[in-house]
Amino acid sequence: MLLFIRIFLVLYGIIALITGFMGATAAYNPKLSTPMLDNNHRYVAAIWASMSLAFFYVAWNPSETSLFRFLMIALFIGGIVRALALVNYPPTPFMIFGILIELIPTATMLWMHIQLLKTGKI
C-alpha cells in the first residue's frame, strides 16, 4: 500500500510540476486572453508548480498526515468541481481521464493511508 501511495504522489508531483511550468511559461496571446486573465492563469500555474514540492515531500515523508490529507482533499475537491463544470461543455476523453485520476486514486490513497496509520506501518 505504501508503495502505491508513494508512486502516485510522485506522479501527482510530476503532473503538477509540468502543469505549472507549462502555464507559467505559456506565450501571451492577446486575441485569446486579457492581461488580467493571463496574470491569474500564471498565478495558478505557480501554485501548481509549488504544490509539486509538497507531493514530493510527502512521498518521502508519508507520516506527514496533515499535509497528505490536505493534498488528497484538494485534488478530490478539484475533481468534483471539474466534473460539475461538465454541464457547461461536452467532455473529452482527456477531461474524463483527468477527472477520474483526481477522484479515484485520491480517495483510495486516503483510505490506504488511514489503514497504514491504524496498523502503525507509517
Using alpha carbons only, give the angle 5, 56, 120 rounded to the nearest 5 degrees. Answer: 45
Integer Cα distance of 122 and 58 in angstroms: 12
- Looking at the predicted structure, is the pLDDT value of residue 94 above 90? yes
Each residue's pLDDT tens digit, 7-21: 999 999 999 999 999
Each residue's pLDDT tens digit, 51-80: 999 999 999 999 999 999 999 999 999 999
Integer Cα distance of 46 and 121 in angstroms: 34
Residues across the chain: 122
**Where are the domains positioned within the chain?**
2-119
pTM: 0.89
Sign, Cα dihedral of 49, 53, 59, 65: negative
